[in-house]
Copies of this chain bind each other. A is one copy, B any other.
């Protein structure tokens, strides 16, 4: 089994390398003090260190249920299953529902593709934005994994019309759409209605605390019809019994304290500024890279003009001290392609400036060598 480029890169780059490769949230934005206070409160109760329910602690499930209900999607505790990060949600869902195959996006979130592959699920990629292609494939598979909000890797947002069309397909085919909402709260302007709103009983909405609080807690969840969740819960129990009780209690206490109301706008503002800065640098230093500035999320995605092998450029840049992810990684067939993904949340402005300069120089050198 091949390990992912991103995880392998993570382990080999030294601290001097400027990385646009990972999907790391900015740790300067972690609300350290509020989390420390939440942890102390949690640890005043021995239950925070004891075994707990496989579905998750009731208090946190209730908060998540209220969050969806407030969006207009009637949700109760029984519709929520807490997972060990959104990644576990994808692993479990694919083991239960994707055995016969699923539609995926092209390009798609690499961690999802890897999990589905590891579990032997046949993948049917559709070209992002081509909803008709989606519909044709979904008719066969009745299963799909998509990311409507600030998609990883492209930053693309599905239009409301496309969301409705896909939701209708799910209902018409009596199928299941797995909607990954990991980035949905990282909007710079507005949050569109989630697709699941239009197909409440034919969707599993996957969420994550990794981008809005802290990935180190390993906290995610699935929102869905209780009957659809049941076999996932049984597998969850067999996979790791339950998610860290302490992590769940910390998130619950943090949420209870009302801190998200300040924390989320803060993250959004900082990421918006970083996105603008990176977009600026790319435009001025590397004009051969063509992209559309995203309205949220964590990545700028685009294409190098001409017949550039983005993988070769990434490896050459890595040697020169800066790295990004070549777009081919996000396709099931890993084709040679000239697309690339740049993360804008983790580096400082200065690092972005230096990093893009290094990549621009490497790009120029590679042209000369031809």
Contacts and interface: CB of A to CB of B under 8 A. Distances in A.
Interface of A: 1-4, 7, 10-11, 22, 24-25, 27-28, 30, 32, 35-36, 39-40, 43-44, 46-54, 83-85, 87-88, 91, 111, 114-115, 118, 210, 214-218, 231, 233-235, 237-247, 250
Contact of A216 (B40, B50, B215): B50
A49 B36 contact: no
Given A216-B245, A216-B246, A218-B240, 10 more contacts: A7-B54, A27-B49, A30-B46, A30-B50, A39-B246, A118-B234, A118-B235, A217-B245, A217-B246, A218-B241
Contacts of A49: 27, 30, 32, 35, 214-217
A233 B235 CA distance: 20
B216 A87 contact: no
A7 B240 contact: no
A242 B217 contact: no
A47 B235 CA distance: 30
A236 B39 CA distance: 27
A142 B47 CA distance: 41
Given A115-B238, A240-B91, A24 B50 contact: yes
Most chain B Cβ neighbours within 10 Å, of A2, A48, A239: A239
Contacts of A11: 53
A237 B32 CA distance: 26
Contact of A246 (B47, B241, B247): B247
A4 B54 CA distance: 11
